[in-house]
Amino acid sequence: MSKKTIKKSIFSRIRNNFIAGVVVLIPIGITLYLTLFIIKLSTNLIPKEINPNNYLPFDIPGLEILIALVLITFVGWLSLSFLGKKFFELFNNILKKIPILRTIYSAIGQMTETFTQKDDGQKSVVLLEYPRKGVWAVGFATQTNKGIIADNVKEELVNVFLPTTPNPTSGFLLMVPKKELIYLNVSFEQASKFIVSAGTSNIS
């Protein structure tokens, strides 16, 4: 084996090892960065006056997140109780009577209910041709379009939320003829993972 071949082989191994290191470290680095970012952001979740970290001799990273999760779980438990249901029903009725807030609150409430319904979760993931024929995208069917839009089009339309990658909280609202949609028998979580990972994880 010539010196040139040996050098090329060594360089190839170093390059492969470097690429392997990048592939391993990038997900770890991004995960750690996002985790630290969320922990730092979580310090604003709880007012300073009641934040336990302000009264402890040392800070506990992520304590605010833990408290927030416990609080959310408690509110969820409370909302399922008899008195809790009555209280939140009264609270909802009050919000729905405030002109500007009722529009925002109702829209967000409907969207949340749509994406958290377990029975319809596996029927809401759709495949559609977008932005042109022959190019496919994964979206979430929210409901059948009703009202003035459907009456004017005179065709059965389905409202589809098409999220962006890698941030699925933003996207587009498309009104697509039902016959042009392919419903996928996958969960909302599987489709979300596929979108967030920019297609690097497969939908099974």
Return per-residue pLDDT of the chain as tens, 204 residues. 566 666 667 777 787 777 777 777 776 777 777 767 766 666 666 666 667 767 777 777 667 677 777 777 887 787 778 887 787 778 777 777 777 766 776 666 666 665 555 454 446 899 999 998 999 999 999 888 888 888 888 889 999 999 988 777 788 999 999 999 999 988 888 888 888 888 887 777
Q: Residue 124, Cα to own-chain centre: how many angstroms?
A: 14
Neighbours of 178 (CB within 10 A): 14
Is residue 62 in a domain?
Answer: no
Q: Quick one: pLDDT at residue 6?
A: 64
Query: pTM above 0.75?
Result: no
In this predicted structure, what is the pLDDT of residue 115? 58
Q: Does 24 map to a domain?
A: yes
Quick check: is 101 in a domain? no
Cα–Cα distance between 82 and 92 in angstroms, integer? 15
Q: How far is CA 81 from the centre of its chain?
A: 28
Residue 203 near residue 137 (C-beta atoms within 8 A): no
Q: Find the helix packing angle between 63-80 and 82-95, rounded to 10°.
A: 100
Domain that holds residue 20: 3-42
In a domain, 15, yes or no: yes
Residue 111 lies in a domain: no
pLDDT of residue 120: 46
At residue 116, what is the residue type?
T
